[in-house]
Structures are given as structure tokens and as C-alpha cells.
Structure 1
Amino acid sequence: MKNRFWGKRVLAVLATASLALPLLAGCTASESKDNEQRVLRVATLWGGQDDSYFRQQFTDAFELTHPNITIEVVPAVDQGSMYGYGNQEEQKDVPDTMESLKKIMTGDNPVDVIVADTATIKSLIQENMVKQLDPLMQEDKFDTTDIVPSVLEGIKDLGDQSIYALTPTFSSSALFYNKGMFEKAGVEPPTDNMTWDDVFNLGTRLTKGEGKDHVFGFSFSTYQGGSPYYTMSQYYNSLQLKIFDDKAEKMTVDSPQWEKVWSTISKLALDKVIPKGDEPQDQDDSGRYNPIQGDLFLGSKTAMVIGDYSYINQLIDANKNADKMKDFTKVDWDVVTPPVHPEAPEIGGNIYLSNLMAINSSAQNPDDAWELIKYMNSEDWAKIKARSSYEMVSRKSFIKPKDGMDYNIQAFYTLKPVPPTNSNADKLYQKMPNLWQVSDKGMEYFNQVLENKKTPKEALGEWAAKGNEMLEKLKKNPKATFQ
């Protein structure tokens, strides 16, 4: 009887032990995985032997909190390979960034994570080369409610409303205005969500003075000098206007939309509402460093200007050191959202998502890849990087005005970013190194409008004809050059 009872106990213990074995095995495997030293390969578009800046900005904190994971930074293109670029005989060696990236994403030792800009990520999504993140986010209950809505929407626009990448930071611009100038003129200052026409009308009202005392109502740039030909791209980018088609085979500038752009901007320049580019520049003959020289806004030479987020640092520093600078008056400023077009009321400014992080579809280590992206976009990381001078973190809870100031910080992230007009652009410029001259040629014709030698319609028509000749030449010889 006693032996039978003992036998039942032994069987019960064995049964319990057998049930526990899978759990123990699971724990052991999990512990082994956690303690195992692993390498996570992270691709960047450009880089070299010294990747310390990238590591300081992004991966050092991750390695500190994940001691079992070592980050290996793998640039798609080594910057050293660009030495000699511009020499005619060397142009054939200019690397194709996208092709170089695809090579390190495939093969025997593919990278796990890609850090790139919107155009690159969009191309990779279209070619099914990066993983969709939505399932991983749902499984881990990754909270996106605190991510800046315009950033999240910009990301979704790349992947047909699905998420294929996340970015821990972004950069942006806003419309800075001089509060004192508006008060003195008795004019209501700009507000959020104004149209370009509204801002130009305000600028016209604030324009005053002659010669060295002239004050512009508006400027596309903080810096003095230079034709508005390039800076006015901020005006037409959200309209998705292109200079030539996606294959760089035909010019697209001979259109009513382009005519309206050139007519609007050239009139503002001729009326001196915006700088024309040929104004005499301020000279400082003292030989001392003058941080405000050539700065239209700090020099109180313009009432409104488009400036990026980092410009705030210059304004704060200048105002703090006002007593050390001759003839400088503190600028009482604030910001509002960049102007928009009625056709695209939610899109404006220059919101750059240049550090998008995606997982390679062929990743060898997809779990750690997701762990890195998840960490880089977490509240903990945002808390560490929230004081960055040049970019904002994507989690809006940690975006605060600098130095305890009170300005409209939301102006930098209310609007959606302008989507890429051509995700193939980088490849085109790499295939045809002198393609930029087709765009550059436009300045010659725009300046003829500013000189009242041609109407915008005439100038655009001539640019289209000349550009088509240049594109035809490049089609036959991608390395063609132009005088």
C-alpha cells in the first residue's frame, strides 16, 4: 500500500516536471537570446571612416541601453569616392546612391536598418524592399498619439497610408515676423494658415523707404543678395510643379501655372516688396566679426522672412548680445505657419524627414532592427534629444520653446510636409551629372524678366525650348556638357 502511494507521488512529480520543461526551455532560450552578443547593421546614404557624428546623434544611447547589441554603420556610398568629382574624366565614376544602397540591402550580408530621406524610402517601398511596420506597432502597442500629426501623415503619404518607416527627428521652417515693425505701421501681424497672397499683401503694406533705408515687406531668405530664382521654390513646391518630367526627357515649364509663379514673384521683386538680388549690401569696414551682417531680418531690413528652426538660436544669441554690437536693435519677433496655396491648404513650409528609419525586407536581424527603431522613436530618446539646436523631436510633448520663451512653436509642425515630386530624381542626376544645368538655365531667363526684357510667358517659352535641346543632348549622351 505504501509502495503504491509512493509510486503515485513519483508519477505526479515526473508529470509536473515534464510540464515545466517547455517553460524552462523557453526561459533559457530567452535568457540566451538576451545575453547573446549580436551585430545590427545600419545603412546610411553617405558616410566614411568617421561615423562618430551619426553615432552621437542616434545610436550611442541605444548601445548603452542594449549592451548585447553592437551597431555597425554601413554607408551606401563612401564619401571618399567623391574626391575628384567634377573632373570630366572622373564623372563616369560618380556613384549611384540608390544602386549602392540596394547592393548592401541584398547579398550574403544585408544590412538590417536603413536611415534615409523621403525620396529614398518611397522608392524602396515601391520596390517592396522595406517591411511594413504597422503589424509590429500593433503587436507591441507602439503609441503614435504623441507623434507630430504632420510628421506621421507625411510618413503615411509615402506608403499609401501604411507605415514603413519612423523618424525620431525632423526639421522645419516657419514665417518669422518683426512685431515692432507691424505695431509701428499699425498693421495687423500675420497669423497661422495665411495664403501666399495674404502674406504678399501684408508685405506690400510694410514695404517702405529708399536706398540704404529701404525695408522689404517679405523675403524668402534671411540672407542678403542673390536672385529670388532659387529661393522662390518655397512658393511653388507645394503645387508639385516640375521643371521637366520624371524621365528628364521633356520640359514642363511652359504652362499657365509656371507663368503665374513667375509673374507673381517678378512683380514683387520689381515693386521692391521682396529683394531682387542686386541691392547694395551692407559693409562693415571695422574688420571685426559682425554676426548680423548680411542678415535681412536681424538687420531690420525685412518685416517677414521664411527661416528654419535653427534660426531661433541666431535670434536669441543676437538679442542676448545686443549691447556688444554697434547699431543693432533687439528684434521683437514671433512665428506663424508658412504661407499656403488655396489648392493645398494643409501643405507648406519645408518639413524635412531626412532620418527616416526602415527595416530591410531581407534583414538578418529584424527583431533587433525593430528594437532600434522603437527605441529611437520612444519617449526616453525624445527626452534626451529634445534640446537639439537644429532639429525637433517627433514627439510633440517634448517640443518646447527655447530658454523659457513664449513663441508660437506649433507653427513649425502644424502643416504637412511637401511630398517628393519625383522619387527618381537622385538617380537622374547621378546618371546625367550636368542635368542641373537645365534647371540653372532658368535663372538666365528669369533675370531677363526682372530686367523687363521679356514677359514671363516669353521667358518660360524660351527656357522650355532651350531646355528641351539640352535634355535631348543628355538623352544621347548622359555625360554631355553645356557652355
Structure 2
Amino acid sequence: MTMSNLKKISMPLAIMLMASTAAACSGTGPAKETGGNVSEKPAASKDPVEIIFYSPLAPRTVEQFMKERGDDIQAKFPNYKIKFIPYAKGTETADLIAAGQTVDIIMSTTTTINELVKHGLQYDMTELIKKHKYDLNRLEPSLVQFMKEYSEGGMYGLPVSVSTFNLAYNKSVFDKFGVAYPKEGMTWDEVYELSKKLTRTEGGVQYYGLTMSVPHMLNINQLSAPYYDPKTNKVLLEEDKFKAVVSNYARFYQLAGDKAGDLITQWQNYFVKDQTAAMMVYYASFTLETKFDFDWDVISMPYFKEAMGVAPQYTPSYMEIAANSKHKDEAFEVLAYLTSDEYQMKQSRQGIMTSLNNPGVKNAFAQGSDILKGKNIKAYAPEKAALITPKDQLSGIAGAKATSIFKNIVTGQSDINTALRDAAEAARKEIETARVK
């Protein structure tokens, strides 16, 4: 198997978790100003056509798709019949290919896109982008760069949605211990000082300063420290930048002493259910989807001192035109609409993050939502995000090894240098095995 093919096989579950909740983004505004006005582009067929959507490796019903996107697309293109094929037993990617079923637009994440290439459904849209005079500069740069690198200089898809991470906090825990609330623009060191004051036992109850999901945090780290370099075939777990990321997160767990192991597995329950964790870093969309039983607010993810103002890597959703599509021009019209200011603004106002590099659309976030009234909305619209690191199968192997040794570090079973050296060696062996298959 070639390296080009190998890098696009699905990643381990621990890493794929990160992208599983990425939400969709879209907008409103004069399309003429954005280069997204499909009426000004080369006309596709005006005859009735069926545009078929498919989302591999992600369970989604027809009803969900139509509510999320399909109804809007159908309203915009009344002459097109919008159809969605759910991913299920009998409709997995290989099943569709075997049955001769074509699709037009495939919905993916930075990891499930591997399924697209695994089955030869990738299609470089570069010529369509030129033909329709589509301006890629309208999109968030890191999302475009990831896709260009993944497509080896081409462009398999356009980012239509994005999610980021931020820090949510429980005001009651801060009030209980008389500690000032977190402030926008804090560094990790400053949040660590807060965490030291809040990680304590009171009335027989263990409280924690900060909780997080380790696989996610390593995968979307703000220093863009990768697990692995596909170009040089080098495992990077022992590099200083990656070590700095691990060390930063580990110190928060080490505050918990012999409870550090529990904090790794119960990180979400401690914040949401038990309400014994003062702060939690996770998907920003999580606070929009969860009904908390306490007074909460958010700040942007704390910054590394060497990367001030840089948010975590975005977790985007892309849409790709399938190689076997019979309606590529019409499908591109749909993608141009889904990334237009018009559609993106509408979605942004409803509390869905935009994939556009447009301050106006970003600043409109959640203006039509009651959930975030009185909250720090700035934390949902970062001005700059870290570049997205490789998410291929071999990177996933190295990432899984790093995640597995994190507990040894925070519980004192191993020092960080030894743990990362062991993880790197294990990753190299497994990667070599995978490369020769």
C-alpha cells in the first residue's frame, strides 16, 4: 500500500471523537459582495435534477439532514430535488459503490474524509472553483490550508461549518471559595493559578479547578504540535513543542493528587452532573446544547504565552463533490450557496459558527439565540485559530499512544520524558507495521 493511500484511512476512535460533534455553519448577506452569488457564475443545468447527499461513518436521519440543511437548500433551489442517503447497515460506502449508487455531495470531517479517498470518491474541484469564479479567500484560511494539504495541492471540498473550543465555568464554585471569575484573554498560567485555589476538599467533597478531555485537547492544541509528520515519516511525540503541550495539561491533573486518574475518566460528569469542577474546556457548541443547572459563562480558551490570541485548531465539517457525481456543476452551485454570506449569516445568528473569514458574520453569532443572552459571546468567535495538524491514520496511531500514556504522567507512574519516549517508540513500531500492509 502506498503512503498516499495509507494516510487517508480512518483514524482510531479516540481521535475521531473530536470531530464527531462539529456543527454546521452558514450565512446571509449580499452574495454579490462575497463572490458567492451563484447567479453570476457559469450556469449549471436548469433542468430538474436530483442532488444526492451522503454522510459516511456518521449516523444521521433524513429528518435531521433536512432540518439542518436540506430544507434551506430545497428552498434556494426549487428546481433541484434534494435527497439524503443515511449511513446505516446496507448503505455503507462500499455498499453504495457495489450497488452502482452515485452520490453528488459527501459530508465529512477532517477524519471521516479518509473514507472518501479510501473508496476513490475524491474529486479535485480546482477547475470548478475557477469556472465558477469562487473566491477561496472568503473562507477561514486554516480550513482551506488543511484541505489543500490533504488534497496534495488540489481541493477536494469546501468547509461549510466549524466548531471551536472554549472554557466554561461554574460561577457557584467560584463564589463558594471566594475566587474571582476567569477573564477573557487569560493565559494557561493564569488559569492554572485559579485552578490551584479551586482544587481542594471541602466538607468531604473533592473539588477540581479544571477538567478536560485529553484526546481532544492534544488533537486541537493551540501550538499546532503534530503527533507525526507524514512527509518525513517521523513521530514527533518527543519534540519540545509537543512536550510543552502535554506538560501544560498534565499540571492541572497533578493538582488532584491521587484523584488524577478519576479526573481523566469523569471529566465531564464532574462539571455537568456533580458540579464539583469549577471550569471545563470543551467544544463551544456543548454549552449551546446542554441545559446546565447552575449559573455559567465562558471565556475563550486560555492562551499559551508563545501563542497569544491563537485559539485551538478548528474542527471543521466539509462538503465534497463525489467523483461519480452526474451533476458536478449543480452540486457546486449548492456548495457556493452553503458558503455564501447569506446562508452563513443566517446560521451564525442561530448560534452555529461560521466557516467564513468574515468579521461581520462572526460577530453576528447567536444574536438570534436566547441561550447566550448575557453570556460572553466573544468566546465563540475567535479571531485567529491554530493551523490544523495532520489527521491521517498514521498520525492517529501516534496520537493514540500519546493519549494512553497521559495517565502514567499525571499519576506519577512515569516522568514525562520517559513516557513520551515509550509512546514514540510504540508508535514507530505500529506505524511501520501499518506502512507495509
- Counterpart of 2:188 in structure 1 is 196
- Counterpart of 2:281 in structure 1 is 306
- Counterpart of 2:21 in structure 1 is none
Distance 2:316 2:60 in 1: 25
Using structure 1 for the length normalisation, give the TM-score. 0.62
C-alpha change, 1:250 and 1:79, in structure 2 (3 Å) is: farther
What is the identity, as a one-letter code, of the residue corresponding to 1:169?
S
Correspondence 1:130 to 2:125: yes
Whether the aligned pair in 2 keeps the contact of 1:177 and 1:305 (CA below 8 Å) is yes
SS, match of residue 175 in structure 1: strand
Correspondence 1:422 to 2:385: no
What are the Cα deviations for residues 211-231 of structure 1, in whole angstroms up to 9, with x where unaligned? 84222121115xxxxxxx535
- Displacement after TM superposition at 1:238 (Å): 2.5
- Displacement after TM superposition at 1:353 (Å): 1.5
C-alpha change, 1:114 and 1:302, in structure 2 (3 Å) is: same
What are the Cα deviations for residues 153-178 of structure 1, in whole angstroms up to 9, with x where unaligned? 33343448999854443323211123
SS, match of residue 297 in structure 2: strand
What are the Cα deviations for residues 110-140 of structure 1, in whole angstroms up to 9, with x where unaligned? 754443334677998xx9711367657768x
C-alpha change, 1:131 and 1:31, in structure 2 (3 Å) is: closer
- Counterpart of 1:23 in structure 2 is none
- Counterpart of 2:67 in structure 1 is 56
Distance 1:308 1:131 in 2: 32
Distance 1:142 1:460 in 2: 39
Aligned pairs (5 A) from 1:34-53: 34=46, 36-46=47-57, 51-53=62-64
C-alpha change, 1:50 and 1:280, in structure 2 (3 Å) is: closer
More strand by share: 2
Match of 1:375 among 328, 334, 337: 337
- Counterpart of 2:210 in structure 1 is 218
Correspondence 1:460 to 2:420: yes
- What stretches of structure 1 of length at least 5 have no aligned partner? 1-29, 84-94, 145-150, 222-228, 283-291, 320-330, 430-434, 479-483
Correspondence 1:405 to 2:373: yes
Distance 2:390 2:136 in 1: 31
- Displacement after TM superposition at 1:200 (Å): 1.6
C-alpha change, 1:46 and 1:460, in structure 2 (3 Å) is: closer
- Counterpart of 1:22 in structure 2 is none
C-alpha change, 1:473 and 1:166, in structure 2 (3 Å) is: closer
SS, match of residue 89 in structure 2: helix
- Displacement after TM superposition at 1:456 (Å): 1.3
- Alignment root-mean-square deviation, CA: 4.7
C-alpha change, 1:415 and 1:132, in structure 2 (3 Å) is: farther
Match of 1:242 among 217, 222, 226: 226
Distance 1:49 1:385 in 2: 19
Correspondence 1:69 to 2:80: yes
Larger relative contact order, structure 1 or 2 (CA cutoff 8 Å, min sep 6): 2
Match of 2:304 among 341, 345, 355: 341
- What stretches of structure 2 of length at least 5 have no aligned partner? 1-41, 356-360
SS, match of residue 230 in structure 2: coil
Correspondence 1:265 to 2:249: yes
- Displacement after TM superposition at 1:334 (Å): 1.4
- Counterpart of 1:469 in structure 2 is 429
Match of 1:446 among 393, 406, 410: 406
Whether the aligned pair in 2 keeps the contact of 1:134 and 1:164 (CA below 8 Å) is no
- Counterpart of 2:10 in structure 1 is none
- Counterpart of 1:353 in structure 2 is 316
C-alpha change, 1:265 and 1:274, in structure 2 (3 Å) is: farther
- Counterpart of 1:148 in structure 2 is none
Distance 1:246 1:349 in 2: 21
Distance 2:340 2:323 in 1: 23
- Displacement after TM superposition at 1:68 (Å): 1.9
Which piece of structure 1 moves more, 191-200 or 370-379?
370-379
Distance 1:274 1:405 in 2: 39
Count of paired positions: 379
- Displacement after TM superposition at 1:453 (Å): 3.4
Q: Sequence identity, in percent?
A: 22
Correspondence 1:155 to 2:139: no
Whether the aligned pair in 2 keeps the contact of 1:133 and 1:165 (CA below 8 Å) is no
Whether the aligned pair in 2 keeps the contact of 1:175 and 1:338 (CA below 8 Å) is yes
Whether the aligned pair in 1 keeps the contact of 2:195 and 2:209 (CA below 8 Å) is yes
